[in-house]
Amino acid sequence: MAKREALRDLQSRLAQRLSAVRSEAPAASWLAIECAGVGLLVPLAGAGEIFPVGTLAPVPHTRPWFVGVANLRGGLHGVVDLAAFLGLRPTQSAAEGVREQARLLALNPAVGSHVALMFERLAGLRTAGQLQREPEDDVSRPSFAGARWRDDRQRVWQEIDPAALVQHEQFLGIAR
């Protein structure tokens, strides 16, 4: 019970912070999430609401990372296990063990898709002032992978562009 109250408090503070950040002068700011221990940054403009993982209706003949459909505030959203999609976790069955702690990030409808990304941990908000951009390297990354950033604890965060993600060929190919 205490964990639920703490989570509600965190979500309430985060919602207040999101509102405050949106009303401030435009600057790069992200929602920081973790998938299989990897830090990811989702631009606030592409992020919508965060939900607990409730009942998911399975969809047959789909990729293992497409875990089903959820009713989020009356709208149907396809749910993608982001860690499995990114190859950070092997299969949907591995996701079963993390679902109780996981959350869903419904993407902003402005990105053009009713999708929710399942992730393991919410790490808060980040701004460009808190991070240093990593130099470009020769590693090939998908089109939805933006810049990499490092925080003051030397942790590297990968920026994800939700609009590019929902248009990515592999992401669109949910059928087996």
Write down the pLDDT at residue 126: 95
User: Are 131 and 149 within 8 A, CB to CB?
Assistant: yes
C-alpha of 155 from chain center = 18
Rounded CA separation 15/11 (Å): 6
Confidence (pTM): 0.81
pLDDT at 159 over 70: yes
For the stretch 47-99, pLDDT in tens is 999 999 999 999 999 999 999 999 999 999 999 999 999 999 876 554 566 67
Cα distances (angstroms) measured from residue 133 to each of 4, 126, 129: 35, 13, 10
Write down the pLDDT at residue 103: 95
C-alpha of 36 from chain center = 12
Write down the pLDDT at residue 96: 61
Rounded CA separation 50/107 (Å): 9
pLDDT above 70: percentage of residues in the chain: 91
For the stretch 10-29, pLDDT in tens is 787 877 777 776 665 557 79
Average pLDDT on 104-108 reads 96
Rounded CA separation 72/74 (Å): 5
Rounded CA separation 166/66 (Å): 13
